Amino acid sequence: MSNIEEEDDDDLEWEEWKPNRISFVYHMMAGSMAGLAEHVSIFPIDTLKTHIQCERCGAVSPFQTWNCATKIIKREGIFRLWRGVSAMFAGCVPAHAAYFSIFENMKIFLGADKEGHHPLKAAFCGAAATFSHDLCMTPFDTVKQRMQLGYYKNLTDCVKSIRATEGFKAFYYSFPTTLMMNLPFGCVMVAVNESARKIINPTGKYNFMASMVAGTIAGTVAAAVTTPLDVIKTKLQTQNLEPCPRVGSIKIFTVNTINSPIVTPNVHGMEVSLSYKSSSQVVAQIIKESGYSGFFRGMGARMLVHAPSVAISWTAYETFKTFLFNI
């Protein structure tokens, strides 16, 4: 009888979900697939957000955001909304692999994977995972946003042009601001997501709908809170697309009309300085031009991006993780 009881106990243990039984490599694989699922699905909305925050559309409401989308599609076709997705492909695989694998291991290390609510520990796990993600993703995000606005011929041309005219540091101009935005975003999102999942699905077993609902709530709350920092980041990453004609250290770009907006280096080699050298300059300029409401440009679009993206990303991650656990 004792042997039978031991076997039953073993069976019950294997039926329980224990994420620490999955190797670091499996977490990376599941995270990579989750990143692809997330970014491909919401990329068109992210394109609109970038246009709005750069004031290319003048959109401050959902109706104006829709008008922005229809104008872009009418002028350049539906696939224009996916311009720059190649940069996202290149960056999101390693970035999300690092994010989820570090997140899972930090949960185990801090004890955030135990029963009950641990919002502070979960927030710290989110911050650690976010730092590793942004270290990988920031250069690709810079390239992505410039291509979303219609500049450069392709991914290779964008990378070569930025490096030749602005230097390697241009890929990380927004990194401090990105961390200022994404660290609190990661803390809020992970803390809300972990608590929401435990409330909605107290058993802890894989549940597709519970994961989607929790992710939607977490993404919406975190996106709304961090919109002002996202506006600043976008301004920093796209500032040299409309350079100030002063003597400096960066070669000027010539920009064609909006209907044919490919950017090429100026053959005359005129040099200009950066429009913004720090986040504080961006803040002052936004207040001067748009008032404090300018910090919330694109908040609706940002919430539309992050609500589904967090839901898709974490649900895809849990799905792939469960699949890898069972093979």
pTM: 0.65
Euclidean distance between CA atoms 241 and 140, whole angstroms: 17
Of 96, 41, 327, 316, the C-alpha closest to 206 is 316
DSSP 21-61: GS-HHHHHHHHHHHHHHHHHHHHHHHHHHHHHHTTSS---S
* Residue-range domain boundaries for the chain: 23-229+294-326
- Mean pLDDT estimate for the chain: 77
Q: What are phi and psi of 57, to 5 degrees?
A: -110, -20
**Confidence at residue 277, expressed as pLDDT on a 0 to 100 scale:** 65
**Confidence at residue 75, expressed as pLDDT on a 0 to 100 scale:** 82
Given a cut of 70, whether residue 251 has pLDDT beyond it is no
Contact 103/128 with Cβ under 8 angstroms? yes
Model confidence at 250, in pLDDT bands (50, 70, 90)?
A: very low
pLDDT in tens, 187-232: 999 999 999 998 999 888 889 999 999 999 999 999 998 888 888 8
Given a cut of 60, whether residue 247 has pLDDT beyond it is no
Given a cut of 90, whether residue 24 has pLDDT beyond it is no
**Confidence at residue 300, expressed as pLDDT on a 0 to 100 scale:** 84
> For the residues 42-51, what does the mean pLDDT come to?
82
Least confident of 106-110, 149-153, 163-167, 261-265: 261-265
User: Which span out of 231-235, 240-244, 270-274 was modeled with the highest average pLDDT?
Assistant: 231-235
Given a cut of 50, whether residue 235 has pLDDT beyond it is yes
pLDDT in tens, 74-123: 888 888 888 888 888 888 888 888 888 899 889 989 988 887 778 899 99
**Confidence at residue 62, expressed as pLDDT on a 0 to 100 scale:** 52
Given a cut of 80, whether residue 63 has pLDDT beyond it is no
Q: H/E element holding 212?
A: helix 208-238
- 3-state SS, residue 112: coil
**Confidence at residue 226, expressed as pLDDT on a 0 to 100 scale:** 87
**Confidence at residue 140, expressed as pLDDT on a 0 to 100 scale:** 92
Model confidence at 255, in pLDDT bands (50, 70, 90)?
A: very low
- Report the alpha-carbon angle 222-149-66, nearest 5: 65
CATH hierarchy code of domain 23-229+294-326: 1.50.40.10
Least confident of 5-19, 79-93, 302-316: 5-19
> For the residues 2-14, what does the mean pLDDT come to?
46
**Confidence at residue 267, expressed as pLDDT on a 0 to 100 scale:** 31
Question: Which is more confidently placed, 90 or 260?
Answer: 90
**Confidence at residue 268, expressed as pLDDT on a 0 to 100 scale:** 35
**Confidence at residue 44, expressed as pLDDT on a 0 to 100 scale:** 85
Model confidence at 132, in pLDDT bands (50, 70, 90)?
A: very high
Euclidean distance between CA atoms 218 and 222, whole angstroms: 6
